Amino acid sequence: MIYLDTSAAVKTLFAESDSESIRALFTEEQPFVSSRVFALEVHSAAARRGVPEERAVELVSRVTLITLDDSVMDAAIAGGSGLRTLDTLHLATALRLEGLVDAMLSFDRELLDRAREAGISPHPLCA
């Protein structure tokens, strides 16, 4: 299963470098998982850039979302990753899924570095 960070997912909504590669993953029916904050980030990014809400809803619907419960919050606080708040929550969520997450798909270098240090490999598209 691929842990999907918003920095990679929004490339399906906007024409950016690597957009076609990310879109291709979605056509392959890859299983994606992310933190519940992913939905907020995708909807916010779409609204800021004038993308129709339906496209954001469709993107979010393709991803299994993990609830931010106390265990994830506690792990994020205890982890001391030094990342920005939402990236810290993404990392804590991915780490809670140990054994299920094969790779992290993100274009945020700091998040990828911390994930790698914690034992989660970067997806080949962002390695």
Return the CATH number at 104: 3.40.50.1010
Residue 65 inside a domain? The answer is yes
Domain range for 27 is 2-117
Do 66 and 34 touch, CB atoms closer than 8 A? Answer: yes
Residue 110 inside a domain? The answer is yes
pTM of the predicted model over 0.85: yes
pLDDT tens per residue, range 87-125? 999 999 999 998 999 999 999 999 999 999 999 999 999
Residue 96 inside a domain? The answer is yes
pLDDT tens per residue, range 30-43? 899 999 999 999 99
Residue 124 inside a domain? The answer is no
For residue 12, is pLDDT > 90? yes
Do 88 and 75 touch, CB atoms closer than 8 A? Answer: no
- Cα–Cα distance, 40 to 114 (Å, whole number): 22
Residue 23 inside a domain? The answer is yes
Strands 63-66 and 32-35 turn out to be: parallel
Angle 126-16-3 from CA coordinates, rounded to 5°:
35
Task: Identify which of 106, 122, 9, 86 has the alpha carbon closest to the alpha carbon of residue 55.
Answer: 9
Q: State how many domains the chain has.
A: 1
Residue 122 inside a domain? The answer is no
